[in-house]
Amino acid sequence: MTSVDILSMTNPALNSLLLRNFIKGYNTNLKSCPFLLLFLPLPFVLSESTRKTFKGTNSATGLYTWLTRNQNLLINLNNRIEMSSSITRNAIIFGCYNQLLVINEDGTLNAINKGITINKLKNSSVEVTEMLDTSKRLGCWFSQIESTTNIFNSLGLTL
**Tens-place pLDDT, residues 128-144:** 889 999 999 999 999 99
Task: Check whether 115 has a pLDDT greater than 90.
Answer: no
Task: Check whether 51 has a pLDDT greater than 60.
Answer: yes
What residues form DSSP beta bridges with 111?
101
Higher per-residue pLDDT: 118 or 110: 110
Report which listed range, 8-12, 50-54, 117-121, is most confident.
50-54
HSE of 122, CA atoms in CB hemisphere, 13 A = 7
Mean pLDDT along residues 39-57: 95
Output the pTM of the full model.
0.90
Band the pLDDT of 8: cuts 50, 70, 90.
low
Q: Are 21 and 95 in contact (CB under 8 A)?
A: no
Q: Are 148 and 36 in contact (CB under 8 A)?
A: yes
- Which pLDDT score, from 0 to 100, does residue 1 have? 45
Angle at 74 between CA 70 and CA 77, to 5 degrees: 140
Measured CA to CA, the distance from residue 81 to residue 88 in angstroms comes to 9
- Which pLDDT score, from 0 to 100, does residue 114 have? 76
Measured CA to CA, the distance from residue 126 to residue 132 in angstroms comes to 10
Measured CA to CA, the distance from residue 91 to residue 150 in angstroms comes to 25
